[in-house]
Amino acid sequence: MIRYFFHNEMNRSVVGKSSVKLAFLCSSLWVSSAFAQGTTMSLSAGGKAQNVPASTGTADTADVNLDNRPTMIGQTAPTDEKMLVLGHHYSDGVTRRAIGGGLMVKEDAPKSKSTITRDYIEKQTPGLNPMQLIALLPGVNATDSDPMGLTGGHTSVRGMNENSMGYTLEGFPLNDIGSYAVYPQEIVDSENLSSIQVAQGSADLDSPTVSASGGVVNMYLIDPTEKMGGRADFSYGSYNAVRGFARFDTGLMGNSGTRAYFSFSDTHEEMWRGPGDESKLHGEMKVVKEWGKGNRMSLVVVGNQLNNYSQPSVSMASWNKYGIGVPGAIDGSSSGTPANTVYNSVMTGNPKIDQYYYKNRINPFTNIYISAPSHFNLGSHLSLTETPYFWYGYGNGGGAYSENMTRMSYGSQTMSGTINGQSAGNTNVVLYNPSITRTYRPGAVTKLTWTAGINRLMVGYWFEYSYQRQTSPYSALNADGTPVNEYGDGANLILANGQVAQYRDTLTRTIINTPFIGDSISLFHNRLTIDAGLKYSIITRDGRNYLPDTSTGTVINQTYREALPTMAFRYKVDSKNQLFFSVATNYRVPMNSSLYDSGAYSAGSGYSNHAATGLKPEVSISEEFGWRYQGKLINTSLTYFHYNFTNRLFTQTIVDPHNMGDYYTTSINGGGETTNGVDFEIGTRPIYNIRPYFSAEYIDARNDSNLAAQTRGVSALLPTKGKFAPQTPRYQFGLGLDYDNGGIFGNFSLKYVAKQYSTFMNDEAVPSYVRMNIGVGYRFKSWGLFKSPTIKLNLSNITNNHYLNYASGIETNAQTAIAMNGKSVKGYVPTYGIASPFSAIFSMSSGF
């Protein structure tokens, strides 16, 4: 039997093969500028002027370091460069002067990069996840499946999805180490975000990610204030969405040079596609200590407890027939099976029990992130940056399936099983079968930077060791159809040989050793900078498959090695115009699940999900050439980009043609690909309190190979060479308008995304769509304890447009196709995500 695991929390554990191009270098010291007014304050949350990361500035800035050259050689950690942020702002961090309403900053990097700041973040719906916040930036196609973003979402940049992007927070990695998936709802509360930076083409040299073939998304937190205070807000809106947030800043603690904040949020929301609700408890802490000249230590702790239900994707047939009217339709199902059918009892042997009950699609997950990015001035023009971190995650993506307990497989053997000593007899019963992952992941990025005259040299090392245990036990349901234990820990199905029945049962240890070196030279009084660097990545997967009779044996060992050079130039034509050029090599390795067999065993063919230990890493060479104009009123950026891929990897959902409810997710080799495109963005400073912003992208991405029909039992090549690449919109446009006179404020956003093919044969696609959002609010004058109390109303998807927004599982062909040898190849069902509907959220907030 082929088995499908739902896409939500435990797609960390989904069966399949994906790859991730490794991060390489490229970042820069960029100087943000927005005309200041009033007193000198920090970006973080009020109080005195203070140093903040260069990558987070939004107001006028005065550089603390004399050596303020742009660079690609490594600026991921928030301690690398410091700036003094000058200018009045409110307790929420809004300056009213940011370019494009906070959707653009003054950049100086020798590559494409776009940044949003608190002026934009603060005016959106409180608690939106980072993917939702970056949707207007050039090249970014961000999707969600619920208004508050609690079920996550997807992002593609220049046609490369989040599995091909590196995500970091305060310099530590966020992508799942096995599947490279990103779960944006777990990362950070938007009230604590200082900025989000999207590098569309390449990661920094020091970026701790093995999944950045499509660039990197770096997130930075605000700093604790030097004066005691805090922030609180409350939101209520559509689908009974309720959210509360509170942050307390200690201020400077005596003469220790130490300050901290502690925050907590609680979010609840009802599902909009059928019954159920979702909730999130989230806490954050940041402690900062500074002393001497350029010495800084910080500690960041993020904790998240999430409970939600899977938002199932659909086939095109199901969408055309039912639209959003069938909340329980399973991926690829055209039957529209409703999700709220109540079970009778797991042990009754009732063949009419419905396996799609929504309460068995729960996704409980707990995350803890700890990082301590620190910077030390060692003297003699030498500095040390150290970013140790620890990543912990435990939870699952729920699922229930109809099984015959008398014919369970244990490898090539078939045997019976019991739950609590009971057998259901020779009939099918519904069993809970969650996909569970537990991850422990310590690591550190260490680097030394030496600056002398026109030269800056950096050497560093990234080390990480991860332990990832992934299981999928069968267990009982209660009489009301809910799991006995949502983590699958209780009432397990025990086979006749005493073993717990498992759909998969693996342990993977991933060891990353990545030395890197980079050099930056500044010439002609910093008008020309030349960067060059090299990263050498060594990734070792050491694992065990505890299922019997696998095709690869019990012990798995796989090592990937790749040298990743980079080079970049930035030239200032004059004080307003600059040109840049960069070239880099990227790669990503297959995800860990590609190393293992899993699923149900069939005589003659083995497990339904086969290992692909010979799957090669995806490799690309990327080039960018760009121009920026940065004047007193207008900022613009225009970038041409080119990619050449080999062994391009895509995610595919394999559907059992005899049972449309049974699937698994895997990766397929998409052969070669050539991509050319242009990104553009423009924003202004205030014009009568109005700050417009516009972004656009045109991309032409073509397959360079004819692909074999995938897992169809047909030995034939399909004529896919020259076809447009899947999951890649040819055009995108984003428009933002921001108005703020100090009291009244409002914003409008519009995003247009062209159609995206869901097959390599281009015979089915996500239609083009437009999404519009509006926000309005009023900021009162401070009164007593309350600092800048504010009310606002955010309306998303204001036209209540019902549309598909993402091809979640692509295929070679959806319709019957003729192969190059003349054979007829049957099409199979691509799957799609459904966008969130109209919602209205009212919020009240205040500093104190």
**Mind giving me the DSSP string for 327-386?**
TT--TT-SS---TTPPP--TTS--TT--TT-GGGSEEEEEEEEEE--EEEEEETTEEEEE
Between the alpha carbon of residue 338 and those of residues 322, 324, 350, 622, 661, the distances in Å are 11, 12, 18, 46, 13
> What pLDDT score was predicted for residue 119?
94
Tokens of 509: 């240890």
592 — alpha (psi -120 to 50), left (phi > 0) or beta? alpha
> What pLDDT score was predicted for residue 32?
29
> What pLDDT score was predicted for residue 323?
84
At residue 65, the 3 state secondary structure works out as coil
The Cα diameter of the chain in Å comes to 83
Angle at Cα 642 formed by Cα 641 and Cα 644, nearest 5°?
Answer: 155
Q: How far is CA 779 from the centre of its chain?
A: 32
Tokens of 831: 């799957």
> Tokens 């709802």 identify what position?
185
- Please tell me what DSSP assigns to residue 170: T
Asked if the model's pLDDT at residue 444 lies above 90, the reply is yes
Structure confidence by residue, pLDDT tens digits, 656-672: 444 444 455 556 666 78
Pairwise pLDDT comparison (17 vs 388), residue with the higher score = 388
At residue 678, the 3 state secondary structure works out as strand
Most trustworthy range by pLDDT among 327-331, 486-490, 710-714 = 486-490
> What pLDDT score was predicted for residue 98?
92
Structure confidence by residue, pLDDT tens digits, 137-171: 999 999 998 899 898 888 999 988 888 889 999 99
Range from 90-99, 360-369, 687-696, 702-711 carrying the lowest mean pLDDT: 702-711
Mean pLDDT of 699-703: 94
Q: What radius of gyration, in Å, describes the C-alpha atoms of the chain? A: 26
Mean pLDDT of 702-731: 83
Asked if the model's pLDDT at residue 328 lies above 70, the reply is no
- Please tell me what DSSP assigns to residue 55: G
* Complete DSSP assignment for 486-551: TTS-SSBEEETTSPBPEEEEEEEEEEEEEEEEEEEEEETTTTEEEEEEEEEEEEEEEEEE-SSS-S
Rounded Cα distance, 498 and 494, in Å: 6
Asked if the model's pLDDT at residue 826 lies above 70, the reply is yes
In the chain, % of residues over pLDDT 90: 56
> What pLDDT score was predicted for residue 72?
67
Amino acid at 654: I
> Tokens 């990766």 identify what position?
667
Pairwise pLDDT comparison (744 vs 825), residue with the higher score = 744
> Tokens 């998409």 identify what position?
670
Pairwise pLDDT comparison (75 vs 282), residue with the higher score = 282
Q: Which of 222, 243, 223, 240 is nearest to 232 (CA)?
A: 243
Between the alpha carbon of residue 116 and those of residues 98, 418, 532, 581, the distances in Å are 9, 55, 27, 23
Structure confidence by residue, pLDDT tens digits, 541-565: 999 999 999 988 899 999 999 999 9
Structure confidence by residue, pLDDT tens digits, 254-272: 989 999 999 999 999 998 8
Domains, the chain, in order of start with CATH, read 51-221 (2.170.130.10), 234-847 (2.40.170.20)
Pairwise pLDDT comparison (60 vs 135), residue with the higher score = 135
Q: Band of the pLDDT at 326, cuts 50, 70, 90? A: low
Pairwise pLDDT comparison (189 vs 23), residue with the higher score = 189
Asked if the model's pLDDT at residue 515 lies above 70, the reply is yes
Mean pLDDT of 666-694: 89
Asked if the model's pLDDT at residue 571 lies above 50, the reply is yes
Q: Band of the pLDDT at 613, cuts 50, 70, 90? A: confident
Amino acid at 73: I
Q: Band of the pLDDT at 652, cuts 50, 70, 90? A: low
Structure confidence by residue, pLDDT tens digits, 748-807: 999 999 999 999 999 999 999 999 999 999 999 998 889 999 999 999 999 999 999 999
Across the chain, how many H-helices and E-strands are there?
3, 53
Between the alpha carbon of residue 775 and those of residues 97, 272, 350, 733, 842, the distances in Å are 18, 21, 51, 20, 10
Q: Band of the pLDDT at 678, cuts 50, 70, 90? A: very high
Asked if the model's pLDDT at residue 24 lies above 80, the reply is no
Mean pLDDT of 635-642: 96
Mean pLDDT of 801-823: 89
Q: Which of 397, 8, 313 is nearest to 185 (CA)?
A: 8
Q: Band of the pLDDT at 209, cuts 50, 70, 90? A: confident
pTM above 0.85, yes or no: yes
Q: Band of the pLDDT at 329, cuts 50, 70, 90? A: very low
Range from 40-44, 88-92, 589-593, 780-784 carrying the lowest mean pLDDT: 40-44
Q: Band of the pLDDT at 651, cuts 50, 70, 90? A: low
The chain-wide mean pLDDT, for the chain, equals 83
> Tokens 């240890």 identify what position?
509
Pairwise pLDDT comparison (666 vs 400), residue with the higher score = 400
- Please tell me what DSSP assigns to residue 629: E
> What pLDDT score was predicted for residue 11?
36
Q: Band of the pLDDT at 349, cuts 50, 70, 90? A: very low
Rounded Cα distance, 490 and 483, in Å: 9
Q: Which of 588, 587, 591, 722 is nearest to 667 (CA)?
A: 591
Residue 480: Cβ-neighbour burial (10 angstroms; 0-12, 13-18, 19+): exposed
> What pLDDT score was predicted for residue 68?
56
Structure confidence by residue, pLDDT tens digits, 350-394: 433 457 788 888 889 999 999 999 999 999 999 999 999 999 999
> What pLDDT score was predicted for residue 74?
73
Rounded Cα distance, 270 and 140, in Å: 28
